[in-house]
Amino acid sequence: MKVDWREVAVIVGLVFLHGCSSLLPSERAEVRSPFSDYLDAEIRYSQAIPGRTSRSELFSLGFDPLSEGNGKMLSFIDVRLMFVQPNVPINYLPDGLMQCLEAKDRCVGYAFEFNKTDTQRVGSFWADVFNFRKQRELQGWTFRAVFVLVDDKLVHKVSNGEPNIRHFEVKRNPLGPLQGAGEFFSDQLK
């Protein structure tokens, strides 16, 4: 039986090309948090009850800017600037924020933003390397929360976020590696 080396070379080449997608770059970004995912952050957030939760209890839920990090400590003025808007009547504010405005220096706030994203380059390795087409998938979550306390007691809280971020991005360059050459040369002439 005679072996056709051209067929073997084609098969080996196809196997090699198929595995090239794993050579594409990937990126992972995470703002360190005590929460494993969005749902975990939301559950712990719901356990903080205005009028009942103390500062130490809030910290034990994972919302501690000193030990857990990634939180901003807000002064009374910061809280006021965040919630009081020129076109919104002051009596429209929730009772907890009104307590904060009346308490002035006894009022503090904490603002947190936690997120976790994973970006993968997908598609053809060769199209990516030669700059014809770059495809990226981004997946993750983000959770933001603000807590307002007066005399170490939670009086107001608000949160928002994106529990399921899914983005797909495609950049096409019909000229491939030559696509940016004109801009490069015009920048060199300046």
CA 129 distance to own-chain centroid:
27
Q: How confident is the model at residue 132 (pLDDT cuts 50, 70, 90)?
A: confident
Question: What pLDDT was estimated at residue 189?
Answer: 66
- Taking alpha carbons only, the member of 178, 185, 138, 128 closest to residue 162 is 138
Residue with tokens 């970006």: 119
Q: What is the dihedral of CA 123, 125, 126, 130, to 10 degrees?
A: 90
Choose the most confident range, by mean pLDDT, from 2-6, 30-34, 38-42: 38-42
Query: What are the tens digits of pLDDT across the range 62-89?
Result: 999 988 778 999 999 999 999 998 888 8
Question: What pLDDT was estimated at residue 173?
Answer: 73
- Give the integer Cα–Cα distance in Å for 180 and 131: 10
Q: How confident is the model at residue 186 (pLDDT cuts 50, 70, 90)?
A: low
Confidence check: pLDDT of 46 > 60: yes
- Give the integer Cα–Cα distance in Å for 149 and 19: 55
Q: Which residue has the higher pLDDT, 52 or 183?
A: 52
pTM for this structure? 0.72
Confidence check: pLDDT of 141 > 60: yes
For 167-170, which contacts have Cβ atoms below 8 Å and span 24 or more sequence positions? 167/136, 167/137, 167/138, 167/139, 168/135, 168/136, 168/137, 168/138, 169/135, 169/136, 169/137, 169/138, 170/133, 170/134, 170/135
Coil/strand/helix, residue 187: helix
* Overall residue count recorded for the chain in this entry: 190
Q: What is the mean pLDDT of the chain?
A: 82
